[in-house]
C-alpha cells in the first residue's frame, strides 16, 4: 500500500460570496504539488450559512464544476462541503472529486441545532467510506466530531476526515475530540477548520490538525492562512494495530441510520 499525501487548506471564507471564494481557493491550490487528497473547510464557497435557498446548488452546479476542473488540472482529489439542493431538500454535503471527474459524497448526519441547521437542512442517513490511493477514508462534517458512535471504526477504515467551521470559543473541544477519535478508532484523523469572522459575527481561529493513531499531532496550525500537508504511512498504521490490537476488543452494536 502506498503512503498518502494529504493537504488541508486553512483559510478565511467570505460570507455568501461564491465567486470571491472560488477565486481565492483557485489561487491557493496553485501552490499545492504532489498531494493525493486536498481538503477544504465546511461550506467553503459560502461560509456556514443557514440560507440554503440563496446559496444551494445542484450536483452539476458551478461549484461542483469548479471542483472537477481543479481536480483535473492539478491531478489530485479535492474535497470540501457545500450546500446542495436535491429533490426539494437541502444538504450540507461533503463532496470528493477525482481528477477523472468521479464524485463521492457524504451528507452531514448531525445538524447543529443550536444554529438552526436542523430546521433548514436534511440530515444524512448513511455513513460512507471513500477510497483514495487504496486508503479507506471515513468522511464526516464538523458537529459529527462530537458523536463517537457515528464514527466507530467497525469497517477498518484508515482515516477519519473532518471538514469544519468550528468556533474559536470551543476550539479546546475540537482538539481534544480529534485526538480522542484517533485513539479510540486507531486511525489517522485529518481535520480542517477555517479562520476569520463569518457573517453572523462568529470567530474562527483554525487549529486544523492531522494526528496519528496514537493521537500524536503530525501537523497543526493556528490562526492564519496555511496549507497543512503531510504524508501518512500505511505501514506504521498497520504495525501499530498489530502491536496493540484494540479494535479486536471493541463492542458490537448497530447504528439505526434512520433514527
Per-residue pLDDT of the chain (259 residues; tens, 9 = 90+): 789 999 999 999 999 999 999 999 999 999 999 999 999 999 999 999 999 999 999 999 999 999 999 999 999 999 999 999 999 999 999 999 999 999 999 999 999 999 999 999 999 999 999 999 999 999 999 999 999 999 999 878 999 999 999 999 999 999 999 999 999 999 999 999 999 999 999 999 999 999 999 999 999 999 999 999 999 999 999 999 999 999 999 888 777 765 4
Please tell me the predicted confidence (pLDDT) of residue 253.
Answer: 76
Residue 250 carries which DSSP code? P
Query: Is the CB of residue 237 less than 8 Å from the CB of residue 188?
Result: yes
Please tell me the predicted confidence (pLDDT) of residue 257.
Answer: 61
Paired strand residues for 102? none
What H or E segment, with its residue span, contains residue 63? helix 62-74
Query: Is the CB of residue 185 less than 8 Å from the CB of residue 152?
Result: yes
Residue 140 carries which DSSP code? E
For residue 98, give the 3-state DSSP assignment.
Answer: coil
CA nearest 52: which of 89, 17, 15? 89
Please tell me the predicted confidence (pLDDT) of residue 172.
Answer: 98
Query: Which domains are assigned to the chain?
Result: 4-246 (3.60.110.10)
d(CA 179, CA 214): 8
The residues assigned a catalytic role are 42, 108, 142
Cα→Cα distances 207→11, 52, 72, 194, 236, Å: 11, 27, 29, 8, 25
What H or E segment, with its residue span, contains residue 55? helix 52-55
Query: Is the CB of residue 228 less than 8 Å from the CB of residue 11?
Result: no
Please tell me the predicted confidence (pLDDT) of residue 7.
Answer: 98
Cα→Cα distances 62→21, 36, 82, 83, 135, Å: 12, 23, 11, 12, 29
Amino acid at each position: 500500500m502506498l503512503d498518502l499525501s494529504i493537504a488541508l487548506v486553512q483559510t478565511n471564507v467570505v460570507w455568501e460570496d461564491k465567486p470571491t471564494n472560488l477565486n481565492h481557493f483557485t489561487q491557493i491550490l496553485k501552490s499545492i504539488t504532489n498531494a493525493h487528497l486536498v481538503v477544504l473547510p465546511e461550506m467553503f464557497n459560502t461560509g456556514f450559512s443557514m440560507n440554503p435557498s440563496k446559496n444551494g446548488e445542484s450536483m452539476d452546479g458551478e461549484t461542483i464544476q469548479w471542483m472537477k476542473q481543479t481536480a483535473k488540472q492539478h491531478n489530485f482529489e479535492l474535497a470540501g462541503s457545500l450546500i446542495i439542493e436535491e429533490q426539494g431538500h437541502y444538504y450540507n454535503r461533503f463532496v470528493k472529486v477525482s481528477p477523472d471527474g468521479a464524485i463521492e459524497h457524504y451528507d452531514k448526519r448531525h445538524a447543529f441545532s443550536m444554529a438552526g441547521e436542523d430546521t433548514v437542512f436534511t440530515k444524512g442517513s448513511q455513513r460512507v467510506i471513500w477510497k483514495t490511493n487504496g486508503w479507506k477514508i471515513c468522511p464526516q462534517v464538523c458537529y459529527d466530531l462530537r458523536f463517537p458512535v457515528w464514527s466507530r471504526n467497525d469497517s477498518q477504515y484508515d482515516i477519519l476526515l473532518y471538514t469544519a467551521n468550528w468556533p474559536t470559543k470551543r476550539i479546546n473541544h475540537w482538539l481534544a475530540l480529534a485526538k480522542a477519535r484517533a485513539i479510540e478508532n486507531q486511525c489517522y484523523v485529518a481535520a480542517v477548520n477555517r479562520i476569520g469572522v463569518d457573517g453572523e459575527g462568529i470567530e474562527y481561529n483554525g487549529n486544523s490538525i492531522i494526528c496519528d493513531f496514537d493521537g500524536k499531532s503530525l501537523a497543526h496550525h493556528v490562526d492564519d492562512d496555511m496549507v497543512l500537508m503531510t504524508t501518512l504511512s500505511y505501514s506504521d498504521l498497520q504495525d501499530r494495530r498489530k502491536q496493540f490490537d484494540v479494535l479486536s476488543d471493541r463492542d458490537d452494536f448497530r447504528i439505526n441510520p434512520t433514527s
